[in-house]
Amino acid sequence: MPRSIIVGSGKAIPPICVTNDMLARVMDTTDAWIQERSGVKTRYYVEKGTSSADLGALAAAEALANGSVDKDEVDLLISATMTPDHFFPGNGGLLQKRLGMKPLTTFDIRQQCAGFLYAMQLADVHVRSGLAKTVLIVGHEVHTGFMPYSDNSWACMYGQSEKVTPEEFEWNSRFRHLIPLFGDGAAAVVVRATDDEGRGVVDQLLRTDGTDYDKLYVPGTGFSHRPYTDPEQFKRGDHVPVMEGRHVFKLATTRMIEASQQVLTRNGVKPEDVKLVLMHQANMRINEYCAKQLGLREDQVPHNIERYGNTTAATIPLLWDEAARAGRIEKGDQILMVAFGAGMNWGATLLRA
């Protein structure tokens, strides 16, 4: 049975670097608080008008080039995003069009921060069954669309306006536990079939439990409303995600540790034998806690949350891309990927590079 390996990767980081001090111009926060509580120092924002499909296409093109794979060799494309260009259709077809690909099978999946791992399983079962030989997975997000700033707040953050009004400052501060954590970004990998038995996806565990879905979700602009969007929802701020940070923090650490341990144990792999553990980048403290509980060394757990913040479906392929380009992933290395996010969806993937 063929196995799936990652043969190429690429990323697209948007041009506007936003520091914590820039956020502190428009809301009640400080660089010290954000760094200490989340580990984020900067995040990158797209220019107004750039979409997740735009960023995703750039990352995908780079991944194809990096893997020396022609776009016409791809027989399955999976888009993972919680910030698609439109309610429908999903970004799959938009990526196919932007990349100039022939018609092919696409999936649009929306498992938020666990999206990349869900995409990996989908890719792997297609490869193992022989349905696909070459799969392009794109994790791509433009979170700035969630940010409920006035034009003046944007201008003030970017240093183009003196100050925000007290009302604007109060409104923006309502979201201070959320906005500083997130950044825009995209990353993609190309997965290919191999007959090399020493390589490929070894095992995957994916779980969803909707019990606590309303601890991290967007209450407004959905089809449980009629009409699905209206000015009242915007006035209330219901288009911005709700997040009960402490609750999600506890669930994230519990589930990520549990999933990692289950996958390692059932495959007889000791934590110290894993070369790298690519953890979703939601909060540096979540990952430090998980790493400690799992008995991992610092050199096993790369991070980039300090630069990019949380880029949702893009965090794990971003880590892969940076580690691979830095020569930190060699053929046959055991790599564990683990993520937790809204839904609640979580999982772990063990593979041999």
Which of the following is catalytic: 66, 172, 310, 345?
310
DSSP 162-195: S---HHHHHHHHTTTTTGGGB--EEEEEEEEEE-
In this structure, the strands spanning 105-109 and 185-194 are unpaired
Q: Which residues contact 238 (CB under 8 A, 6 or more apart)?
A: 218, 219, 220, 221
Nearest CB to ligand UT7, comparing residues 7 and 249: 249
Among 90, 115, 341, 343, binds ligand UT7 (CB under 6 A): 341
DSSP 201-223: EEEEEEEE-GGGGGGEE--SSST
DSSP structural state of residue 130: T
Least distance (Å) from ligand UT7 to the CB of residue 326?
24
Q: Point out which span in 47-55, 77-85, 245-253, 322-330 binds ligand UT7 (CB under 6 A).
A: 245-253
Task: Return d(Cα 282, Cα 196) in angstroms, integer.
Answer: 34
CB atoms within 10 A of CB 191: 31
DSSP, collapsed to helix, strand or coil, labels residue 144 as: helix
Among 79, 81, 153, 310, binds ligand UT7 (CB under 6 A): 310
**With binding defined as CB under 6 A, does residue 37 bind ligand UT7?**
yes
Q: Point out which span in 44-52, 139-147, 159-167, 247-255 binds ligand UT7 (CB under 6 A).
A: 247-255
Least distance (Å) from ligand UT7 to the CB of residue 245?
3
Nearest CB to ligand UT7, comparing residues 37 and 110: 37
Q: Point out which span in 34-42, 54-62, 74-82, 226-234 binds ligand UT7 (CB under 6 A).
A: 34-42
Nearest CB to ligand UT7, comparing residues 135 and 286: 286
Strand 345-352's sheet: what is its strand order?
200-208, 345-352, 334-341, 276-279
Q: Between residue 155 and residue 194, which ones bind ligand UT7 under the rule CB under 6 A?
A: 176-177, 180
Least distance (Å) from ligand UT7 to the CB of residue 219?
16
Task: Return d(Cα 344, Cα 341) in angstroms, integer.
Answer: 6
Nearest CB to ligand UT7, comparing residues 33 and 169: 33
Question: Whose CA is closest to 127, among 267, 9, 263, 5?
Answer: 5
Closest-CB residue for ligand UT7? 245
310 is known as an active-site residue = yes
Give the bridge partners for 243, in sequence order: 216
156 is known as an active-site residue = no
**With binding defined as CB under 6 A, does residue 233 bind ligand UT7?**
no
For residues 338 and 294, is the Cβ–Cβ distance under 8 A?
no
**How big is the chain by its Cα radius of gyration, in Å?**
20
**With binding defined as CB under 6 A, does residue 249 bind ligand UT7?**
yes
H helix or E strand, kind and range, residue 235: helix 231-236
**With binding defined as CB under 6 A, does residue 40 bind ligand UT7?**
no
Site string for ligand UT7, 97-136 (x = CB under 6 A): ----------------x-----------------------
Catalytic residues: 113, 280, 310
List of residues contacting ligand UT7 (CB under 6 A): 29, 33-34, 37-38, 113, 176-177, 180, 245-246, 248-249, 252, 282-283, 286, 310, 341
